[in-house]
A = this chain, B = another copy of it.
Amino acid sequence: MSTRRPVRHATTARRTPTPALLELVAGRFRALGEPARLGILHALEHGPLSVTALVERTGLGQANLSKHLQQLHAAGFVSRSRRGMFVDYALADADVLRLCELMCGRLDDDLAATQAVMAPQRRSA
């Protein structure tokens, strides 16, 4: 349910945003503003994983990981589902990766620009 793509309400769009709305949006960006959580999302890129599996791939402590997963879930970036004794987490939708790719694209550009300034004539360094 919720294809996420065609929907577009007027809720958050095109108006002077209230402080409460800004806080909501900011909270979601903040959820991505942590290397550990980005690592989790990256680990989920190729399919759902249980908490235990995520502990291995990310190297995070179990408790710590669990807390990060709660935050990602609260922000709507991952979905939760039980499988026997395990709990599988998965990327909620493709927009998550879109956000990261957009951000990475910006980073690439800026890094390239910085390099160009720092060493204009060198090939790579």
Contacts and interface: CB of A to CB of B under 8 A. Distances in A.
Interface of A: 1-2, 4, 7-9, 11-13, 16-17, 19, 22-35, 37-39, 42, 76, 93, 95, 98-100, 102-113
B103 A25 contact: yes
Given A17-B42, A29-B29, A95-B106, A23 B35 contact: yes
Contacts of A112: 7, 9, 11
Tell me the interface secondary structure of chain A in the complex.
helix
Given A76-B110, A98-B102, A99-B103, A38 B11 contact: no
Nearest to A39: B22
A107 B28 contact: yes
Contacts of A39: 17, 22
A48 B13 CA distance: 21
A113 B12 CA distance: 14
Given A99-B103, A108-B8, A33 B38 contact: no
Contacts of A12: 104-105, 107-108
